[in-house]
Amino acid sequence: MTKAPIAGNRTGRKLGQRVKNKKMKASSRQWLQRHINDPYVQRAQLEGYRARAAFKLLEIDEKHHILRGAKRIIDLGAAPGSWSQIAAKVTGSTDEDIRVAAIDFLEMAQLPGVKILQLDFLDPTAPEKLLEAVGGTPDLVISDMAAPTTGHHRTDHLRTMHLCEVAAQFAVEVLGEGGHFLTKTFQGGTERELLAMLKQNFRQVVHVKPNASRAESVEMFLLAKGFKGRKVEGDAEKA
C-alpha cells in the first residue's frame, strides 16, 4: 500500500524550514521553501526516486492496477525518470533485455533497464524509435508530458491538451489488446473529441487526482483502461 507521507521523516531534515536567502526573488524563495518542506520530496529522496512524481504513479496504480502484469512500458515526457524507475522494476527490464523506453527533449541521466531517447515526442521519427527501443508491443503507455508554460492559462491548456491527444493517438496505434494508457491533463475540460476517441477504444476512461498531486495544482490524470484492440483490415466492411 502506498502510504501518504507523515509529518515525521527519516531524512534528518525538519519540516517547516524557511529559506533565508534574501538575494533570491520572493517567488523563487517561496518555491524552494515549499519544495524542501514537501514530504513527498523527502520521501522520494529516502526511497531513491528521482522525483516526487513517482508517488503519483504508485497511488494511481494502487487503485487501478495498471502496472500489474505489464511486460513492456513506454514513458513519454519521462525526465527526470521516476516513472521509468518504477517501470523498469515492474517489468524486470535490464540492460540485456530492455522492456522500457523513455523519451524527453530534456537530458536524462541513464537508468538501468531503460532505453532513453533525448528527442521531442512530436518529432515524426519518435514513434518508430520508441517501438524499436522497447523491443515489442507495449502493455502500458504513460505520459507526464506538459507543454512549457507561457503564463497564459488558456494557451498553456491548449498546448498540453494537444500533447494529450498526440499521446493518446500513439497509444491506440501501439498498445497490445488489454493495455492501458495514462496521461497528464489539466483541470478546465478535457476535449470532447479526445474523450470520445478513448471511450471508443478502451473499456474504461476515468479522471484521477492522486494525493501526491498538489491540491493547488490544476494537474489531473486521464486513465484509459483495457484497450479493445485495433480493427483489422476488412472489419469495417463486415460491420
Is position 188 annotated in a ligand binding site? no
Does 95 carry a binding-site annotation? Answer: no
Write 90-98 long-range contacts (CB < 8 A, 24+): 97/135, 98/133, 98/134, 98/135
Tell me the CA distances in angstroms from 80 to 52, 84, 103, 111, 212, one per residue in order: 10, 9, 10, 10, 17
Question: Widest CA span of the chain, in angstroms?
Answer: 71
The set of long-range contacts for 149-156, using a CB threshold of 8 Å and a minimum separation of 24, is: 153/188, 156/186
Q: Are strands 202-208 and 219-227 parallel, antiparallel or unpaired?
A: antiparallel
Continuous segment of H or E residues that includes residue 116 = strand 114-118
Q: Which residue has the cell 534528518?
A: 12
Which one is catalytic: 56, 115, 184, 225?
184
User: Is 120 assigned a ligand-binding role in the annotation?
Assistant: yes
Cβ atoms of 138 and 176 within 8 Å: the answer is yes
104 marked as binding residue? yes
Grid cell locating 59: 497511488
Instruction: Supply 62's cell numbers.
Output: 494502487
Q: What are phi and psi of 237, to 5 degrees?
A: -70, -35
184 labelled catalytic = yes
Q: Is the peptide bond before 148 cis (omega within 30 degrees of 0)?
A: no
Binding-site positions for S-adenosyl-L-methionine: 81, 83, 104, 120, 144
Q: Which residues are catalytic?
A: 184
